[in-house]
Structure 1
Amino acid sequence: MTATPADAGAAVGRPTSALPVDDPALAASLATGLERVDALLRERVDHDDPFVAEASGHLLAAGGKRFRPLLTLLAAHLGPRGVTDEVVAAAAAVELTHLASLYHDDVMDEADVRRGVVSANARYGASTAILVGDLLFGTASSMVADLGPEAVKIQADTFVRLCSGQIRDDRPTPPGVDPVGHYLGVLADKTGVLIATAARYGAMFSGADAGAVEVMRNYGELLGVAFQLADDILDITSEADASGKAPGTDLREGVDTLATLDIRAAADPADAELLGLLDRDLRADDAAHARALELVRAHPALDRARDYTRGVAEQARSVLAPLPDGPVVGALAALAAGSVDRVG
């Protein structure tokens, strides 16, 4: 990345990274827009009841990249009206939807840490974390309702796909269904759709034409899939990070990703040991888990997964072709290119 929209490294409640932007004026506009989004987020998660306010603001205060609202703000620079109040509200609603999903994800995963702090379910209990997630979904929906019926329909459809993706992600591939196709469909639903909505809202509420809005929807979904594919690879290749997430979590939980699906499909006799480990319950067997992680890291399937991820990122970049060249499209293209080989 080059210039960043905001100089906001480690401050609590502020983004920890930003989009690749070379143009100083665009970077300044994004920084100002993000300040407006953050102010609105803090206002909307507040509550008369101090406990509800604290629990609702728990993950917001922990920081995060604010990637989705930043994408909304960036896409807004494609339209003649730019970053309007509606764009800011839409960006905040998308981030609240994302935060709500994190509360629910952590309950499902029984996670102890999120964004470097104790998870909401560990701190407040699973029932409270679920209810706070519901509260944040409701708050996001209320904000979207003020943006008009089309925005409400988009939000509702996004929510349905997000939830259905999470449900399918928690279950085995149905019999007779291609496992890779199923996996990619889950990624599009559980990750791609909300990023698509973030980009779509930005173009839509800045007055961009229908063609540009559709380009951003397509771009956002492909970008989201590329990001999730890259995250799945990072889960294999990274060491324990500052957030407390240990490597090989998917392996330990028996969750197949592109690399392990490739290994299973090949059914190479040379992979007999690894295939046996993939079929075992690794949750309580640290030695077997470490060995499985070692074998996957050394396997050619991991490079093939990287190549596939680069291909999806290139698809995201290529759909930008109808848009006029300039700093905004340059940043979007750089974001797609950089989504694959990042380290965190």
Structure 2
Amino acid sequence: MSDLQAGLARVDTRLHEVVQHDDAFIAAASAHLLDAGGKRFRPMLTLLASELGDGINDDVIEAAVGVELTHLASLYHDDVMDEADVRRGVPSANATYDNATAILVGDLLFGRASEVIAGLGAEAVRIQARTFVRLCQGQIQDERQAPAGADPMTHYLGVLADKTGSLISTAARYGAMFAGAPDKTVDVMVRYGELIGLIFQLADDVLDITSQSQQSGKEPGTDLREGVLTLPVLYLRESTDPADARLLELTSGPIADEKQVQEALELLRSHPAVERARAHALQLADEAARLLDPLPDSAAVQTLRALPYQVAGRSA
């Protein structure tokens, strides 16, 4: 995997080049979350998917950079909407600067991402634009409950597919596409990436309950404070056990009292709903791994087959 590590180093160098600005304040604000680190999961997937074709090349690197810039930009906006204080273990951009600066820097990074992707041709721009629409659509729907008559579980999974799955799907698609992989292989990576995104978000939602510290990069219980319906809470709501009455009461909406947040976390951590959510993530991991069955066996395919289980295992 030395090629992968070398490729990620190239992506990181290029990211720092792209966020540079003549204005020192804008440069610092643009690099705030980039310098905080992060998993670089999306560019890693782009580079890995390229091994299903001819491997890493300049276009693959640029595509990986564009995807990561889009992700970084979305984090600036997410933190404003969530009123977050911490991101990636450091003060969030909105806490470090202010909401207006965080929003504008997020917009600037979206522009930088579009500029990078524009260098890859019209088809790449079209894919980027559709991905951006789905990202925004998912965020809008995430702020609302399921519409009247809609199944809450279906609504929830649809939100995850849009707000998280869409960009990870594009990351995988770009990698295969710009490495010259066959169209059928690119199609597999589109669906594979979306499933990885679902698994990734499900694991995050479980970690928001089970982590004892800022293991997930955010304060545990963030979703409970905001009243966000995640999979463990949706499974909890199916309960008819009288013993769950207090937990159901606590999770009926946003929790403003910190003692009640901690009480809800303790009760949820030992509740079967959390294990059901983990099992759901593992079912999706099985589905993602099976998608790769038609592809010729290779080291890259073996790594991609193991990846969904590694992502799901983050919540274990």
* Alignment TM-score, normalising by the size of structure 2: 0.97
How far is the alpha carbon of 1:280 from its aligned partner?
5.0
1:163 equivalenced with 2:136 (yes/no): yes
Distance 1:288 1:243 in 2: 21
How far is the alpha carbon of 1:343 from its aligned partner?
5.0
RMSD between aligned residues = 1.4
Aligned counterpart, 2:237: 264
Distance 2:133 2:246 in 1: 40
**Which residue, 296, 299, 313 being the options, matches 2:268?**
296
**Which residue, 208, 229, 232 being the options, matches 2:202?**
229
**1:1-344 to 2 correspondence within 5 Å?**
27-80=1-54, 82-241=55-214, 245-279=218-252, 281-283=254-256, 285-342=257-314
Distance 1:238 1:32 in 2: 32
Moved more, 145-154 or 114-123: 114-123
Q: Which has the higher helix share?
A: 2
Identity of aligned residues (%): 62
Distance 1:221 1:237 in 2: 24
Distance 1:239 1:323 in 2: 40
The aligned amino acid for 2:112 is: T
Q: Is the 8 A contact 2:89 2:214 kept in 1?
A: no
Show CA shifts across 1:11-46 (max 9, x none).
Answer: xxxxxxxxxxxxxxxx11011111111111111100
- Gap runs ≥5 in structure 1: 1-26
Show CA shifts across 1:206-237 (max 9, x none).
Answer: 00010010111110000110111011111111
Moved more, 267-276 or 295-304: 267-276
- Gap runs ≥5 in structure 2: none
Alpha carbons of 1:243 and 1:315: their partners in 2 closer, same or farther (altered >3 Å)?
closer
Q: Is the 8 A contact 2:204 2:216 kept in 1?
A: no
Aligned counterpart, 1:21: none
How far is the alpha carbon of 1:265 from its aligned partner?
2.7
* Alignment TM-score, normalising by the size of structure 1: 0.89
Distance 1:232 1:261 in 2: 12
The aligned amino acid for 1:78 is: L
Distance 1:211 1:189 in 2: 22
Distance 1:172 1:306 in 2: 23
How far is the alpha carbon of 1:205 from its aligned partner?
0.2
The aligned amino acid for 1:34 is: L
Distance 1:103 1:276 in 2: 32
Count of residues in Structure 1 that have an aligned counterpart in Structure 2:
316
